[in-house]
Every structure is written in C-alpha cells, then in structure tokens.
Structure 1
C-alpha cells in the first residue's frame, strides 16, 4: 500500500465518521418495519422483574445480552479510539462486538492496531470484517485468516455492500462469482464465517444460498437506518452520482422484513438483526421476530466519538445499560423471563 493510498484510506475513514455524525444519512421514505409491530401487554406477568434475564450464548460464548456492537470503523487513530471505547463497554456489559472493514490493516500492517481490541474485550465475541467484494480484488483465504488473527477474533463476517461501492468514488464493483469465493473461505477458516449487508437487507433466497455454501450466520443489516448511498453522496465530487444517490434513499429491504423472511425460510439459521435499531424495545421486537442477536451501530457513535475518553465511556455505559433496561422491561411487560421465551412469544403483533 503506497503512502498516497494510506492517506486516501485514512481520509475516507475520517470522512465516513464525520458524515455519520454531522449529516442526515438515514434512509428516506423507508423505515425498519419494527414500528409496524407492538407487544401485547400482559397485566399479570407472574414473574419478578429481578428474574428477567438477558443472558444467552453465541457460538458457545456466553453473553450478558443478545446484543451486538455492529461493525463500524477502523484503520485510523480516531477509529481505533472509537473501537477501544466500544470494546471496553461491550466487555463490561457482555455484548458481542464487530469491527469495521479490516482491508486497510491487511494492506498495511501499521494500521492493524486500530482493530486490536482483544485486550479491551477479553471474553466477549469479537467479529473480524472484510468486504466480500475484495475476494475479487486480490484478497483470498489467507487475507481473511490474517484479519481473524489481527483481531484475535471469534468469527469473521464478509460484508456485502454493492450499492455503496457504486456510489463510492473509489468503489470496487465486480461482484461476480462471489458465492464460490465465500464458500472457499467458509471451508478454510476454523472460525464461524458470516455474511452481512450494510443497510439494504438480505432476502431469504440470498440467505439460503449463503447458508448452503457454509455461511454460519447472517446479519440482515436491513434498511431504515444508515443509508450508505446517502453517506457517499456527501463524499462524492461527481454530480451525477450525488444526484443519483437521492433516487436510492429509500432502497432496500426493511430490517423487520429481512429478519422474518430469512427466519421463515431457514428455521435453524443464526440471524443477527441490525439496521436502524435504537432502543431495547426494538431489540426485543427483533428477537421476537426471529433474530438470535440484535445489533446497534450509528446510534452508539456520538458517544464513542466524544473528545473525552472518560466521558465517552461513561456515556456509552449508560447507553448500553438503558438499552438493556428497556429490553428487560419489554420482556417483563409480556411476561417472559428469558431470551428463549422471548423468541417463542406470541405477544408480538401487528399494530
């Protein structure tokens, strides 16, 4: 990786963080779909609130809650600080944590430190991350293995971001024959390999094809939260792409629709629901719809990116605790005391 390429990567990562913090980058005209559902209140829950437990496990590792810090960033000093703050609080509360795209660290060892969070999160699941399309641009099994090693990760996720790449000025848009390459990675690594979208959702047919070649988990990452065509619109100097991005502000499969569709088609699949989740009630709905974990992304970023490390971690801790409290309260409100009971509830109904 040349000095110019390193500078370009750092610039892009910094721009993504700034834009996500300062600009209106939500999907427009499309929502997560979680708002279409409500829980049917149980006035006689027949349990103590103190007994309501969020404890679960994911690929053999225990979690304090079925919650995930979704993949966001890495590759710069600023991004490394964000990852470490998130990791400390994820470890404290028992959440899984995903890392942003590790392409930069594979190409330049000097950038690996921003993804090295195991010392901050020694016991919770850590998920390494590579763009699936990079398997068509010189990356292979060894690159994926290197990402896992850098992060000391428990799993690897390959992200699918075809629409983002189209609008990204330096985008890689050859998505041909990726299923075969994904299968090779799944067969070769000794950790679970998952696939995630980045905000446009995954349909049942695609999920079935992925599971069929050995993918261990699917992160739906549906529409209704951050739209990366909107993010790239703010970076682009190409008027054509900037204007065209507006036409895709409502593109994608809503998170709730993606999760329910995948679960109906694949009853045994390991599913993560992410994309626009903001509260513990959202997370409870996602689990009741069929997800194994619920992921939170940009909603955590303002606190994680605070200029003060101490204030940042305190605010993040409060945010994590609030999400958990909301989730436990929703469970209490429908009379379920465990995550398994929440998955089986018949009290999530259409409004």
Structure 2
C-alpha cells in the first residue's frame, strides 16, 4: 500500500513523541563549549534584554519553535498550541512541510491555524528542495500566501530521502531551483533537517540569494533514526540497517554554526535543549536558536505547557548571560568562549581558529553576520 504524505506526517509525529529518535553518538557538541564565567558581571539580571531583530522582524528573545508538523487533521490542535505560545511570548515558529497541503487542499487548515493563532509572530513556511523543482515559484508563492509567511524555508533532507523507500533521491538541480525561489520578495531560509550544513554549501547558497541558514545539525532528531522505526514496523530489514548506519551521519550543530556564520545569518537547530545551549549558540555566532522535539509532548497537552517549556529555557538563557556579564544578545556574540575536545579538532582541521573565540572581547574584530 502506498502511504500518502498526510499519513506519513502523522506517523512521523507519533514516532517522535513515543520513540528515542535523537542523536546517539556525538551529540550536538555543546559539551565541548564553555562560556567564560565573569565573577563580576556588573549588570542587573532583571535588566537583561533578550530581544533581537531577525529578517526584519523583532523577536522578544532569540528563539523559534522549529518546523514540527502539519498536513493531517490530527496535527491542527498541536500547531494551534505551538502558535498560541509563540504569539504570547513574541517569538517565531516554522510550520512542517506544506507538501501535504499541495497534494490535498483539505490539509491546508492544519497550516493556516498557525497564522490564525499567531497573527503577530514571525512565521515561516516550509517545503523540501526535492519538491520545489516540481512546484516552482508559483507553487511556493501559494504556500507563502497560505500562512501569510514572513519567510519561506526550503528544507534539505536528502539523508532522509535516501533512507525512505518512497524518498526522492534526485538532488540534481536543487541549487538552481533554490536560486529561482530567491527571486521572490519573501526572504528564503535554507534549513537542514539533522545532518548540518558546511561552509562549501553555505557559500553556494549565499551566492544563490538565500537570506539565512538553519544549520539543522546532528544532535537533535535523527530522521534516519525515525526511518529505522518505520522500516522495522514494515519488516524492511535493508532500510532498517541503512537507517542504523546513517543514524548520526553529518555535521553536529556546534561546528555547523561555526562553518555557516561566516556568510549568512544563522538559525541554530539540532539538540538545543536548554537556555545554556541557546547562550552557547549565540556566543558561537547564531542569530537565533530553535528546537522542535522538546515541544512535541507539551503541544499535545496544550498551549500553557508549551509556554512553560519555553519560558524555562528563556530563564536559563538569562542566567547564562548574567554569569557572562552580557546585558544583551549583541554582547553575548562577543563573549569569550572556549572550544575543546572533538569540536576543537574538527573546526581547526576545517581551517577555523578556536583561539579567536577564546580571546575575543567587545573590542575584538570578531563579527557576527
């Protein structure tokens, strides 16, 4: 039996809520990052300003709920809870892939509810690079209109596509298709979905006209891992073994932030679970951070639970900033940050100097895009 996109979306959501799907080996790299403690912070924690500007829109804190779901009637209340929370807190949110709504217009409500519940929030749409070759600029415009999107994310999930038996394994022409979408007035975000983005690719994407990068690094949800469970359920041994082999394939979130922040504004996604993780992302060069998996279970309970989860992370971010003597996000971008272990080895082999992060100060020449 051929599974529809809508059916696959609800299956993915169920697996993420009930099964261990996160990275198992390296993680995101946050354990290799230490923010230099300031014993004399000389600021008031109550006066710390978390607000940022991102792609022309003000966010009350540098955080968004990453693309989670949509495309099945069962996802509508979940998206409503997520959107209601970010509206209340003045943050941002991405919808799941809108492919299901193109294939079946009856699924549009599961996406529209996000803008209905978050009329003032930063909301971005979402479609795969494998699909934009088929739908073109006109198709993407319809997706933007569907949710009155402030930006459009093109997701790169070729690892998952390679594991899925129904996956689209033709990546040829994807860059040119992205270039065409970038002719729209709406900013374009290119996002990975768990395998990270390299400096080589971000340079190509910048030249194509992309406005921002979501690194989507190894460390959070492994979509190869999700496909392991799907394969196991249908007794597809070959796909299960393939998914197991590539469960942790890719670039972890932390080194991917460093690779990408030299060219474009960065969204740090992939294993962000605490406000301390968020602070480390900002210190390494991210403009904002985002997460998805931590909010799946709270969203199934309601808006209040999502708000509570986010507010806890933002309180943790404030404490981290206070202990680093950073009164706002701009100062956090220049906070001395020590990079150790596997991450240090990786970035230095890739041509980056870890000492530049450790020795910088507000007076340094280090610039965040």
TM-score for both structures, normalised by structure 2: 0.89
Of 94, 104, 110, the residue aligned with 1:108 is: 104
Offset of 1:169 from its aligned partner? 2.5
Aligned to 1:49: 45
The Cα offsets for residues 103-125 of structure 1, whole Å up to 9 and x where unpaired, read as: 11122221110001212111111
The answer to whether 1:244 aligns with 2:238 is no
Of 308, 317, 320, the residue aligned with 2:307 is: 317
The Cα offsets for residues 51-93 of structure 1, whole Å up to 9 and x where unpaired, read as: 1110111122111101010011100122121111100000111
Distance 2:210 2:243 in 1: 31
Offset of 1:288 from its aligned partner? 0.6
Distance 2:305 2:286 in 1: 27
**Gap change, CA 1:51 and 1:324, over 3 Å in 2:** same
- Is contact 1:288–1:348 with CA below 8 Å preserved after alignment? no
Of 329, 333, 341, the residue aligned with 2:331 is: 341
Of 34, 47, 65, the residue aligned with 1:38 is: 34
The Cα offsets for residues 177-220 of structure 1, whole Å up to 9 and x where unpaired, read as: 11111101101x11101100000000010011001110000000
Of 277, 282, 286, the residue aligned with 1:282 is: 277
Of 38, 48, 68, the residue aligned with 1:72 is: 68
Distance 2:76 2:171 in 1: 29
**Gap change, CA 1:52 and 1:60, over 3 Å in 2:** same
The answer to whether 1:270 aligns with 2:258 is no
Distance 2:224 2:339 in 1: 32
**Gap change, CA 1:349 and 1:173, over 3 Å in 2:** closer
The equivalences for 1:183-262 within 5 A come to 183-187=179-183, 189-236=184-231, 237=234, 238-262=236-260
Distance 2:146 2:319 in 1: 38
Distance 1:73 1:197 in 2: 16
The equivalences for 1:87-102 within 5 A come to 87-102=83-98
Distance 1:60 1:11 in 2: 36
Aligned to 2:23: 27
List alignment gaps of at least 5 residues for structure 2: 342-369
TM-score for both structures, normalised by structure 1: 0.93
SS at match of 1:68: strand
SS at match of 2:180: helix
- Is contact 1:71–1:99 with CA below 8 Å preserved after alignment? yes
Report the number of matched residues. Answer: 337
Offset of 1:348 from its aligned partner? 4.8
The Cα offsets for residues 146-202 of structure 1, whole Å up to 9 and x where unpaired, read as: 110001100000000001011112111111011111101101x11101100000000
Aligned to 1:156: 152
- Is contact 1:288–1:344 with CA below 8 Å preserved after alignment? yes
Offset of 1:319 from its aligned partner? 0.7
Aligned to 1:309: none
CA RMSD of aligned residues (A): 1.4
Distance 2:340 2:26 in 1: 18
Aligned to 1:61: 57
SS at match of 1:153: coil
SS at match of 1:282: helix
Of 77, 80, 84, the residue aligned with 1:84 is: 80
